[in-house]
A and B are shown apart, each in its own frame.
Chain A
Amino acid sequence: MKYSMIAAGIVLASAATADTQELTVYTYDSFVSDWGPGPAIEKAFEAQCECDLKLVGAGDGAALLARVRLEGVRTKADIVLGLDTNLTAAAAETGLFALHGQEGVAFDLPIEWEDTMFIPYDWGYFAFIYDNTKISTPPANFKELAASDLKIVIQDPRSSTPGLGLLMWVKAAYGDEAPAIWEALSDNIITVTKGWSEAYGMFLEGEADMVLSYTTSPAYHLIAEEDASKSAAPFEEGHYLQVEVAAKVAHTDHSDLADEFLAFMVSDAFQSIIPTTNWMYPAVTPDDGLPEGFETLTIPTEALLFAAGDAQAERDGALEEWRLSLSK
């Protein structure tokens, strides 16, 4: 009896130390904001893991990768959440990430998922969002947008995944003609922000007529604010697809906990939080389906996407073209 109590004591004590385990997730700013998925995700995972989940906002998606590269093997991150397929090849090259090891997940993505290092948690199409009470006929393609005198806010492709997505969108749609499109767009661009939050905030404050965001963004205004005034402009070129992913850091001290988080990420608990907090399509449709309002969203007729390796190959050249065209 005495021994079993001691044994129980040891078990409890070790459970108590396990309690203090901390899992650090680097992610983008809007994910950790009060209205983003962060608070609900933290609560749901902590209830399950009996650990402390620390979500750290580190700028926007592309800045995330830069930060992990700067920190190298000394990074404090166990998980990096918020890269996308335009960055996964570059991220894999750093050697800082481990294989995800999650098998048999039935993803509901517009593409086949074969990456064994990065695991998707949501997806969406990039689109320009406008106020339909102010603009009755939005531009139907990039050329019309460039010809108009509409003012737009975009994000920096070096720090932000939507910014990089736009770079890839124009490249995928126009190829060698891309620099000309950027030059034409140059006088429409009010400013280039470091991240998505700032750009979208500026648009909502009336600083710009249109902002680069997602076809799912109007759902936020519709569902959370009962405001139907925001729409995504359908573009004839098709819309570039974004699949947002996470991965485990290879040097993590909490490997098992990190694996548990990755498994949690594709579970119903996580996925059901995503649509109405991150305002993206879930990577695995929750049991209850998509929330009401999502059926009103624009569905692009054509999805554009570079495979991860191609995106990596295109990035540097496209970025130089972008810098140059916009600096003229």
Chain B
Amino acid sequence: MASLSVKIKRQRGIGFWVGAAVAALILFLCFGTVGIVAWRAEAGSTINEADISALTFTVKQALLSAFFSVILAIPVARALARRSFFGRRVLITLLGAPFVLPVIVAVLGLLAVFGRSGIVSWLLGQFGIAPIHIYGLHGVVLAHVFFNLPLAVRLILQGWLAIPSEQFRLAASLGCKARDRRRLLEYPMLAEVVPGAFAIIFLICTTSFAVALAIGGGPKSTTLELAIYHAFRFDFDLSKAALLAILQVALSGCAALLAWRLARAASVGGGFDRMVNHYATGSSHVGDSVWLLMTSLFLGLPLAMIVIDGVPRFFSLPLSVWQAAGRSFLVSMATTGLTVVFGLSLAFWVTRLRGTARGLGEAIGYLTVAVSPLVMGAGLFIVIFEFASPQDWALPITALVNSIVALPFAMRVFLPAVEACDARFGALAQSLDLKGFARFRLLEAPRLARPIGFVAGLAAALSMGDLGVVALFADPARATLPLALYDLMGAYRMADAAGAALLLMLLSLGVFYLFDRGGRTDAPL
């Protein structure tokens, strides 16, 4: 026991304290900002019926979004698990696209497909059916399904692939029918995987802002985040913003706890990781193809429309759009740097902790998944307002908040990698007295190049496309590209908006690709 404590003490270098400082910063940004907003709020504002309806709408749309994402994902994941076909790889890549696609761009693509003058309405018109319109609850849910169906498919697909193919073989050799196979192998797996996927998507949808902002369509479909934005930005009503912020944090806190409990990886017996595609019957083959085709269309058409609509104006975009793109790029790079530094320091810190402290440390890393970027932004705004013009700080704050938002993803990737590295080489490094920056440069950096590249790519893309906190501080002279795009839509300059959307999509996918790729090829292993 004594030797253990000595060992721990010896490992507490500068890195440990940097990690602790990052944890403190995160705690401040998550809770301190809510406190600041609440402190500045004058008494007197109470929650009224309209606020409650924002809360119920937030819950309702999140439940529906999670429900449809998961329900639709089950047949798609099953089809992907048991079919090998030409273009399977492309489809799986396509499934990854919504992760790094800016929300506002996707909204524009969805409008082009599902809007009143979109493709679907046009097709319906050919049969004399009235056009559909996208604004309101169903539009919000549609957009969320667009973003989260791929996530659900991936999570459930993992579940399917985790069932060893030997078990399917065994089932086949025992003469199990499709019904038995489902009952014995697939339903138990789904029962384990689906609640977790549902909870994660529910959590993500509770902090929806940009989707509701763009296609919410008024008080009937206002999420809490949007209500915070309205209270802050339009009414400068801090008490209301604070009240809504507390509701928001409580809601997503509960959702996060739920997801934490439910989202445990399913553990089924081991196998040799073969494809599971031999045991489907002919009729299910047709079914699988239909599901895969529908999914490809649903995800691919909006993306295609962005390209088709965007190309004509792409090369004659106004200068202001290019300037906004430049600002977005800088913000994105700053976010990337901060995310990697924060994520790594936190991961190193957590691996040095033991027992309860470790659990808590880990929780801090994932905490920000439940926190509202707008509340953080509002809190920082109030602090800065005391001594400077918050507009001047809009971009640094955006970069900081974005890096905090990206942190849970970073932790998810870094923590296992750092742990593995520590377990394998920790003792060796210690015996060689390799520590501090030398240890990082010689030991960890080469081994972490891939995770760092992936996290950097993700953070860069997320930040490039973010339309959240920057909208609070909005100032056209300092607009980022997503904000400039939203402003163009607001001014109904749709041709320019389409061009800007294409530019934003290319930038987001581009930075993700470059970082992710860089992490893979430059690793001197």
Contacts and interface: CB of A to CB of B under 8 A. Distances in A.
A10 B222 CA distance: 60
Interface stretch (A200-208, A241-249, A262-270): A200-208
Interface string B133-159: 101100000000000000000000000
B218 A191 contact: yes
B379 to A, nearest CB: 15
Interface in B206-245: 215-220, 222, 230, 233-236
Interface residues of B, number: 40
B323 to A, nearest CB: 15
B218 A189 contact: yes
Contacts of A63: 233-234
A66 B234 contact: yes
B491 interface: yes
Given A56-B477, A322-B219, A158 B389 contact: no
Contacts, number: 101
B188 interface: no
A198 B116 CA distance: 15
Contact of B235 (A66, A186, A198): A66
Given A66-B235, A327-B219, A59 B50 contact: no
B385 interface: yes
Contacts of A198: 489-492
A146 interface: no
Nearest to A63: B234
Contacts of B49: 324, 327
Contacts of B136: 191
A261 to B, nearest CB: 20
B54 A158 contact: no
Contacts of B135: 190-191
Contacts of A195: 490-491
A71 B389 contact: yes
A293 to B, nearest CB: 23
Bin chain A's interface residue count: 35 or more
A134 interface: no
A56 B235 CA distance: 21
A156 interface: yes
Contact of A29 (B220, B389, B477, B490): B490
Contacts of B116: 205-207
A186 B491 contact: no
Contacts of A33: 491, 493
A71 B236 CA distance: 11
B275 to A, nearest CB: 46
A191 B217 contact: yes
A2 interface: no
A202 B131 CA distance: 14
Given A70-B233, A328-B53, A197 B218 contact: no
Interface in B489-504: 489-494
A151 B487 CA distance: 24
A159 interface: yes
A70 B236 contact: yes
B287 to A, nearest CB: 36
Contacts of A323: 50, 219
Contacts of B48: 320, 324
Interface of A: 29-30, 33, 56-59, 62-63, 66-67, 69-72, 74, 151, 156, 158-159, 186, 189-195, 197-198, 200-202, 205-207, 320, 322-324, 326-328
15 contacts: A29-B491, A33-B491, A33-B493, A59-B490, A62-B234, A74-B388, A151-B133, A186-B220, A197-B492, A198-B492, A201-B492, A320-B50, A324-B50, A324-B219, A327-B220
Nearest first, the 4 closest Cβ-Cβ pairs linking A and B are: A201-B492, A192-B218, A191-B217, A158-B234
